[in-house]
Amino acid sequence: MDAREFRKFGREMVDYIADYLENIRERPVVHRVKPGYLKTLIPDEAPQKPEDFSEVMKDIERVIMPGITHWHSPYFHGYYAAGNSFPSILGDMLSDTIGCIGFSWAASPACTELEMITTDWLGKMIGLPEQFLHCGKGKGGGVIQTTASETVFLCLLATRTKMVTKLKAENPDLDEMTIISKLVGYTSDQANSSVHRSGLLGAVTMVKLPSDENFSLQGKTLRQRIEKDRSEGKIPFFVCASLGTTGSCAFDNLEEIGPICQENDIWLHIDAAYAGSGFVCPEFRHYMKGIEYVQTFTINPHKWMLIAFDLSVLWIQDSSLLVDAFNVDPIYLRHENEGNVPDYRHWQIPLGRRFRALKLWFMLRSYGVEGVQKYIRHHCQLAHEFEKLVVDDGRFEIVTEVVMALVCFRLKGDNILSEKLLEEIVADGRLYLIPAIARDIYFLRLAVCAERTTSEDIRYSFAVIKSCTDRVMRRYIPLNDPKHKATIDIDISPKRLHGSSKEDDLENTCETMKGINLNGDNANHSGHLVGK
């Protein structure tokens, strides 16, 4: 492909992208393909001779789109938002064009310096203290990573190295593996699975501590476990607290956890992958109280800040803790300005790194702080609109307080009803939702995800859920005969993993549901389960 052809097909691709996003409502949000579907559409071997790119363009719809779940559809409500915007797309285009590998300042000064500036911008936007910024007086600063999963692993390795070095200096007879075998990290039972996985990869014990009735980790729980482990000869060294958990957007008690970590010389890392973007709005920053005790802090702008995957930002109060832990410095990577500016290869696990700061810069300049705040607040407003629809229906209950743009809800009664509702929604295919489990409560999560989601979209999504609920109720809830057994196969239900397995549970559920209008619109029943 020469420059002339690139201009031609580049324009076609830009038009295709714009049309795709503008008309995404018209596409079914969920794919309907089976594993291996591409084998019948693509040859077993690469073409021997060049193909005209017009044929490649034709195959986007024929081959690729049937196997896509449309994460930017307003009817995609699973997981959390996957950010995107036209400025972000343009930033990635330019980054791919420049194609630099920004492992050091010398490799491309703009790559490093723009990252320093934009991470400072972002840190100021969400209210981080000066000690986390490059422009501060200390050793702090921000760095762009791929994901929050990578950052928690990076921080765990850094503090593991710090602790091993310290203990070996104090006890020269101790070998490294003996020390590592005694190390203990802590997190909430609501934390993202990546935290536990980081413990496995780092060969250290990661203890899941029980959360309270609001799914939040409290200081008392952490302190008791630290004291127990110390009495058994273990070495507490790392805590990962969550501000906005994956399942329910719960917030750990940072004001209590922080001082405990400081007293015990424990590295405190904050995973605010989703909710961290919300802190651009001052009304949410009270959840950050205690931030001064934190060593490292992570958010994912590629979730809720209009940035395409991948772009996660890690801020650290003392960057030397990363640099010293991972410093491998061969002569071919050195340059005359070392020490005057960061060489980000020392702040991460890989050597090479993309020019990700471009898309962050493009987005922040195109939207401004006020534009990002407007986007965040709009999503939160839509979540509360959905919450009201759910509560007013009368057949549902809200599981946790709706704080940001996530609503956790379930059908009143036994877990199996909500399981069957999700099965019905999946079979229907017009929406994408996922479940979660906390304290043996099975519930559905509706996250407001797409930038272009409207109130009309939210009403449509609830109408689909209401229709699916009607079918579940007609199928499984007897109206008049309390002795009637609901026709449901208990054996295939995941209920046995997180709910009661007694055979009469469905009858008990039927009794519970008798007073509830099966068609909804029953606002006399309480719709909140928070703190129950």
* Tens digits of residue pLDDT in 359-416: 999 999 999 999 999 999 999 999 999 999 999 999 999 999 999 999 999 999 999 9
- The burial of 83, by beta-carbon neighbours within 10 Å (0-12 exposed, 13-18 middle, 19 or more buried), is given as buried
Q: Is the pLDDT of residue 439 over 60?
A: yes
What pLDDT, in 10s, does the model give residues 134-158? 998 889 999 999 999 999 999 999 9
Q: Residue 311's closest CA among 358, 278, 264?
A: 358
Q: For 478-532, how does the pLDDT look when each residue is reduced to its tens digit (9 = 90+)?
A: 543 444 343 333 222 333 233 333 334 444 444 444 444 545 554 444 566 655 4
**Contact (Cβ atoms closer than 8 angstroms) between residue 72 and residue 303:** no
User: Contacts for 59-65 with beta carbons within 8 Å, 24 or more apart?
Assistant: 60/16, 63/38, 65/27
Sign of CA dihedral 85, 88, 93, 94: positive
Q: Are 425 and 417 in contact (CB under 8 A)?
A: no
Looking at residue 479, what is its pLDDT? 44
| d(C-alpha 11, C-alpha 449), whole Å | 28
Closest CA to 29 of 360, 520, 433: 433
274 contacts 47 by C-beta, under 8 angstroms: no
Q: Looking at domain 139-339, which CATH architecture does it have?
A: 3-Layer(aba) Sandwich (3.40)
CATH number of this structure's domain 3-68: 1.20.1340.10
Beta bridge partners of 238: 185, 267
CA 200 to chain CA centroid, nearest Å: 20
Q: What is the CATH number of domain 365-513?
A: 3.90.1150.10
Residue 332 predicted with pLDDT over 80: no
Q: Where are the domains of the chain?
A: 3-68, 139-339, 365-513
Per the prediction, the chain carries an average pLDDT of 89
The residue type of 229 is D
Measured distance CA(421)–CA(468) in Å, rounded: 7
480 vs 29, higher pLDDT: 29
pTM exceeds 0.85 for this model: yes
Residue carrying structure tokens 């693509």: 42
Check: CB of residue 260 under 8 Å from CB of residue 223. Answer: yes
Q: Could you tell me which of 188, 142, 193 has the C-alpha nearest to residue 313?
A: 142
Distance CA 13, CA 201 (A): 40
Q: How far apart are CA 425 and CA 122, in angstroms?
A: 38
Q: What's the CA gap between 158 and 325, in Å, rounded?
A: 5
Q: What are phi and psi of 524, to 5 degrees?
A: -75, -15
- Tell me how many helices (H) and strands (E) the chain has: 16, 11
